[in-house]
Amino acid sequence: MTADLRVVCDTNVIISAMLLPLSVPRQAINRALREGRLLISAATTAELDEVIRRPRFDKYVSEEERIEFLTALVHEAELVNVVETVTDCRDPRNNKFLELAVSGRATHIVTGDSDLLAIHPFRGISVVSPSSFLTLA
């Protein structure tokens, strides 16, 4: 892949990557950062910040480590100003990822969410699982 790779990862992919450093989601995020750009928005970052602070993750990773992970990810990612409202997903909570993808000119949305995977391709953007993303040439 080339440097024009522009990737949106949904919250579940990022949480899985944080909890399991050797996981396929972590490998997908690492590939996006290594070979292109990982895209984030204010809305996706706010959701991620809320989710990583949930006490149920305390038994896996300390809150401090989770916040450090998010801080590092935000530092390496490209913050996109979302300029278009999208309402195409059957789960409206996922529209923020579509809005980010459109506004950020994404090439891929990496997700395990069936509602997002069901709309592949979305406006020319590939919507793929983390494992499928890793197999792309």
Question: Domain count of the chain?
Answer: 1
Going by their DSSP bridges, the two strands 126-128 and 36-40 should be labelled as unpaired
Can you read off the two tokens belonging to residue 105? Answer: 């000119």
Task: Return the pLDDT at 64.
Answer: 94
Residue 134 sits at φ, ψ, to 5 deg, of: -70, -25
3-state secondary structure of 96: helix
**What CATH number has the domain bearing residue 62?**
3.40.50.1010
- In tens, the pLDDT along 5-48 reads 999 999 999 999 999 999 999 999 999 999 999 999 999 999 99
DSSP tag of 39: E
Q: Are 110 and 24 a contacting pair, CB within 8 Å? A: no
Can you read off the two tokens belonging to residue 26? Answer: 């972590």
- What range does the domain containing 113 cover? 5-135
- In tens, the pLDDT along 75-86 reads 999 999 999 999
Whole-structure pTM value? 0.94
| C-alpha closest to that of 84 among 46, 122, 50 | 122
3-state secondary structure of 112: coil
